[in-house]
Amino acid sequence: MWAVIKEKFKNHPAQEKVIRLLLERGFRINDEGRVVSGNMEIAHTQIANEIGVDRRVVDSTCEAILQNSSLKQIFRNVRTLPFLKDVAPYLGLGVIIITPDDAARKGLLGSVATAVSEHGIVIRQAVSDDPYLTEKPRLTIITEGRISGELINTLTKIKGVSSVTVS
């Protein structure tokens, strides 16, 4: 998917910024070429202001998406995910943030999930940043219960883990 997007917008860096924002936020493009979250429309001027481009760049990016069948299918079906990281402390949940040494390494999520489970902790949510969309991708695990020092020690020993942050 990302290769198709990069090829389509390689000569249009401002439009690529729009694409990144749309994917990062899980915003869809409706049949009218408007940016939406669920059924709520988001003003193109707000998107433009957020990323520092002209509103017309957002307009033309949406038009380009609708003119390409592959991109149209992607952006008509992408969805927003409620990410619990920032509200976890208020819900009595734990947060483990894993910074990988190589975000493309296979099996990191599985190894981390196994270690957490073996320490008797339930995982409520696992969110992995896409290395194509994020400069410094991380794996965020939302847990039920306290995170022990022993678990942190175990996580730091997993191949591919550069650092572990707990909150």
Among 77, 110, 126, the domain boundary falls at: 77
CA atoms within 13 A on the CB side of 167: 12
Q: What tokens appear for 39 in the block? A: 């059924």
- Same domain? 73 vs 107: no
CA-to-CA dists, residue 140 to 84, 102, 135, 150, angstroms = 10, 15, 15, 18
Whether pLDDT at 167 is above 90? no
pLDDT at residue 57 above 80?
yes
Which domain, by its residues, includes 124? 88-166
If one compares 28 and 10, the residue with the highest pLDDT of the two is 28
- Give yes or no for residue 142 having a pLDDT over 90: yes
Judge if 97 and 58 occupy the same domain.
no
* Distance separating alpha carbons of residues 23 and 108, to the nearest angstrom: 23
Sheet holding 35-37, edge to edge: 28-29, 35-37, 40-42
**Overall domain count for the chain:** 2
pLDDT band of residue 28 (cuts 50, 70, 90) is very high
CA distance 48 to 59: 10
Q: What is the mean pLDDT of the chain?
A: 93
pTM of the model: 0.80
Looking at residue 60, what is its pLDDT?
Answer: 97
- Over residues 53-67, the mean pLDDT reads 97
For residue 160, is it within any domain? yes
106 shares its domain with 62? no
CA angle 162, 164, 167 (to 5 degrees): 160
Domain boundary among 77, 98, 126: 77
Query: Is pLDDT above 80 for 137?
Result: yes
Residues 10/2, Cβ–Cβ less than 8 Å: no
pLDDT beyond 90 at 162:
yes
More confidently predicted of 156 and 3: 156
146 falls within a domain: yes
